[in-house]
């Protein structure tokens, strides 16, 4: 909690960035919650005082809180100035890091937080950064007793906590889950800020780094429990485009961080809590045949250009053109945000008896869903802020020592899902049956 030495519970770093503005609004909204803590002390941080002040003024106007700008601290710091990051970290219990792409700007914040005994939450969807931070800082964070929790936005709280939720709702042992993400857009269409686009470009353009990191880690394979997930439970084939019968939609493998994050969580649960690991695969639905063709052309251009330096420069310079209008430098309008939502459907299978084997077919199925508002700038700030509030208020149910964790590893025993349900990210059981 905040003390004289740590005047702020939360500091939103990068509050004047595109996503940081929404996170700032969400923290202010949390402070207004009559069931929450009105004494939540927090600050915004970034390079420019004037921009930070404007962010607070816009949040005050939007939320009807004219006194907000005078209630929130302002910290001036720069990602290129380690001393300023240290000063920021020393003032906070938790830093909410909104400055990406994280492969370029994330590590200095993690380093400053670990060295100064401060916990840190980010919303990275970049597997290489997330896994690298674990190998470089897990032991140091454990020594300091702080929690470094990545991917605490749309990548990957719905997926990671969704698998844990599904496991808790099956009357037996869950052994395999597949998730299908569906994005629902309104009449104004769908748009994403190009910051996410840049992260994807750099991620795909440097896949060899992630492969090398995993080879160097030399981790012991997690055991496969029950029947191996060789092909999809719900689609006719797995690559590159499949048809999901249950959802009546074509789908493709989801290329974000969800699979990496969920697998790391399942390893943690197996090695530290002696739980049987769950196999996992992730897909995103793409609608009908016309959408499939459009996506294939966009994907072809992306994969071709991302391999070369000049190609990456073109992708970054013209996001709207190469993404067929889905990404832009301006980001979504308020009408687009209001008209967009997501549904993530989980199809799981398992065994009613306690000792599943590879030779026995699964005899239990379960279907769950996580539904919520627009994923990138409404659901992500909700998830990030509720992760922070869980870290502040549910300490007895966190891992006993600090470290670098996935959301599922950090929050599997907490009330995070209950918090998310109250904020509009809803977890529910659709069906459960023995077959």
Residue 326 is given by DSSP the state S
**Residue 287, pLDDT score:** 78
**Over pLDDT 90: what percentage of the chain?**
69
Q: Which residue range forms the structural domain that includes residue 326?
A: 157-376+424-434
Statement to judge: residues 276 and 366 lie in one domain: yes
If one counts the domains in the chain, the total is: 2
Whether the CB-CB separation of 373 and 411 falls below 8 Å is answered with no
Statement to judge: residues 16 and 98 lie in one domain: yes
**Residue 204, pLDDT score:** 78
Q: pTM, whole model, 2 decimals?
A: 0.93
Half-sphere exposure of 107 (CA within 13 A, CB side): 11
Phi-psi label, residue 151: left if phi above 0, alpha if psi -120 to 50, beta otherwise = left
Q: Could you say which residues of the chain have pLDDT below 50?
A: 1-2, 236-238
Please report whether residue 406 resides in a domain.
no
Given the structure tokens 């990406």, which residue do they identify?
100
**Residue 232, pLDDT score:** 54
Please report whether residue 411 resides in a domain.
no
Please report whether residue 329 resides in a domain.
yes
Among 350, 351, 302, 309, CA closest to 324: 302
Statement to judge: residues 39 and 142 lie in one domain: yes
């Amino acid at each position: 909690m905040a003390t004289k030495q740590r005047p702020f519970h939360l500091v939103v770093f990068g509050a004047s960035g595109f996503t940081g503005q929404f996170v700032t609004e969400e923290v202010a909204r949390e402070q207004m919650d009559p069931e929450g803590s009105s004494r939540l002390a927090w600050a915004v941080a970034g390079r420019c005082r004037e921009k930070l002040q404007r962010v607070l003024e816009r949040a005050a106007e939007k939320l009807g809180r004219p006194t907000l700008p005078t209630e929130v601290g302002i910290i001036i710091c720069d990602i290129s100035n380690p001393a300023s990051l240290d000063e920021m970290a020393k003032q906070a219990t938790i830093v909410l890091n909104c400055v990406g792409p994280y492969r370029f700007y994330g590590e200095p914040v993690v380093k400053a937080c670990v060295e100064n005994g401060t916990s840190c939450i980010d919303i990275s969807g970049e597997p290489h950064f997330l896994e690298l931070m674990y190998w470089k800082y897990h032991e140091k964070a454990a020594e300091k007793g702080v929690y470094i929790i990545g991917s605490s936005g749309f990548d990957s709280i719905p997926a990671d906590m969704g698998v844990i939720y599904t496991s808790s709702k099956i009357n037996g042992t869950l052994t395999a889950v597949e998730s299908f993400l569906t994005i629902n857009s309104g009449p104004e269409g769908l748009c994403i800020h190009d910051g996410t686009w840049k992260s994807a470009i750099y991620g795909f353009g440097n896949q060899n780094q992630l492969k090398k990191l995993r080879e160097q880690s030399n981790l012991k394979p997690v055991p496969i429990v029950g029947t191996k997930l060789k092909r999809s439970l719900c689609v006719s084939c797995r690559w590159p485009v499949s048809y999901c019968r249950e959802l009546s939609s074509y789908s493709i493998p989801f290329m974000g961080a969800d699979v990496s994050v969920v697998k790391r969580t399942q390893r943690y649960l197996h090695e530290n809590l002696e739980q049987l690991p769950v196999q996992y695969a992730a897909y995103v639905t793409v609608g009908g045949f016309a959408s499939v063709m459009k996506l294939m052309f966009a994907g072809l251009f992306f994969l071709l250009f991302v391999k070369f330096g000049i190609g990456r420069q073109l992708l970054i310079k013209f996001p709207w053109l190469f993404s067929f209008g889905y990404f832009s430098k301006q980001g979504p309008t308020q009408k687009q945000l209001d008209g967009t939502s997501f549904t993530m459907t989980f199809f799981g299978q398992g065994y009613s008896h306690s000792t599943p084997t590879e030779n026995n077919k699964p005899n239990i199925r379960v279907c769950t869903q996580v539904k919520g508002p627009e994923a990138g700038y409404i659901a992500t700030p909700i998830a990030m802020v509720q992760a922070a509030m869980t870290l502040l208020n549910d300490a007895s149910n966190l891992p006993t020592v600090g470290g670098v964790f996935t959301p599922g590893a950090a929050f599997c025993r907490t009330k995070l899902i209950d918090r998310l349900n109250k904020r509009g990210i809803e977890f529910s059981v659709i069906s459960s049956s023995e077959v």
